[in-house]
């Protein structure tokens, strides 16, 4: 840390790091309280696209996490901002529970394709409709391109393979708005008054959470919960600043060594 500035902000992934579906990672609530007892700013950053920010907030509060809505920055938020900038009418390939975050966005006669995690919509007819829009020149916007994520019954395909299939079939390249994009992390820090060199990211996805944050100039801590698999830390270069068992262990390290 000698060449870095003092730590001022901690970005925390949600699914796989604080909780897995409706179960909290053991000790995570207490660890968050300890982190909040310091001077650092805490923000929650997530690629979750299967539920709206309000539903996500309710889930976290039911799990007894002390979180406010303005502390959560999601890839859905970033996607909506891009749609408003581009002034396009999207075909929304997202879970129905995520639709409230796109309220007010016109979707009739679509001229763009937005794809998130939407297991109920990933079937041939819908994907073929998206394929035809893209062939006609519609832009492809990926809320994120995660390969897989953790559910209670095990690992499951994320939206990444479906985005890649559409890219391959149409010879186009998606605009990605969520992690690991540098702009996502910078937007998450907006309003905190913190520079990337003053922040650390904690997450269970080596590429999207840790690699993306480190590419943006932050430190990255990889936790061995959620989607983590043995040797994930060897998949990025430079490797994570730290790999540890869980969110509470990451907080222990921050309190002992980074403050």
Identify which of 139, 148, 33 has the alpha carbon closest to the alpha carbon of residue 86: 139
Q: What's the pTM? A: 0.87
Average pLDDT over residues 14-39: 97
pLDDT confidence of residue 5: 79
Domain boundaries, the chain: 9-47+179-258, 89-176
* CATH of span 89-176: 3.40.50.1000
Please determine, for residue 244, whether its predicted confidence score (pLDDT) is greater than 80: yes
Alpha-carbon span 120 to 94, nearest angstrom = 9
Spell 157-179 as b/e; 16+ CB within 10 A means b.
Answer: ebbbebbeebbeebebebebbbb
Q: What is the pLDDT of residues 158-183, one digit of tens each?
A: 999 999 999 999 999 999 999 999 99
pLDDT of amino acid 49: 84
Mean pLDDT of the residues in the chain: 95
Please indicate whether the domains covering 9-47+179-258 and 89-176 agree at the CATH topology level. Answer: yes
Please provide the CATH number assigned to the domain covering 9-47+179-258: 3.40.50.1000
Give residue-wise pLDDT tens across range 45-86.
Answer: 999 888 899 999 999 999 999 999 999 999 998 899 899 999
Among candidate residues 94, 96, 57, 58, the one with its CA nearest the CA of residue 76: 94
């Amino acid at each position: 840390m000698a060449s870095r500035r003092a730590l001022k902000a901690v970005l925390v992934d949600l699914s796989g790091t604080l909780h897995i579906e409706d179960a909290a990672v053991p000790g995570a609530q207490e660890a968050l309280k300890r982190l909040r007892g310091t001077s650092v700013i805490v923000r929650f950053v997530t690629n979750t696209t299967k539920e709206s920010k309000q539903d996500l907030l309710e889930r976290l509060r039911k799990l007894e996490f002390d979180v406010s809505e303005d502390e959560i920055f999601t890839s859905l938020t970033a996607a909506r901002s891009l749609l408003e900038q581009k002034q396009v009418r999207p075909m929304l390939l997202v879970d129905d529970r995520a639709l409230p975050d796109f309220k007010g966005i016109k979707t009739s006669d679509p001229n763009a394709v937005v794809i998130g995690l939407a297991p109920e919509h990933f079937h041939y007819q819908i994907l073929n409709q998206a394929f035809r829009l893209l062939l006609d020149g519609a832009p492809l916007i990926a809320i994120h391109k995660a390969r897989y994520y953790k559910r209670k019954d095990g690992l499951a395909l994320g939206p990444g393979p479906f985005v890649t299939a559409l890219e391959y079939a149409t010879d186009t390249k998606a605009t990605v708005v969520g992690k690991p994009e540098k702009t996502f992390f910078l937007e998450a820090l907006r309003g905190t008054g913190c520079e990337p060199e003053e922040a650390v990211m904690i997450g269970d996805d080596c590429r999207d959470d840790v690699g993306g944050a480190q590419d943006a100039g932050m430190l990255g801590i990889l936790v061995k919960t959620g989607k983590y698999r043995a040797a994930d830390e060897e998949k990025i270069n430079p490797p994570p600043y730290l790999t540890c068992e869980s969110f509470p262990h990451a907080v222990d390290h921050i309190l002992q060594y980074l403050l």
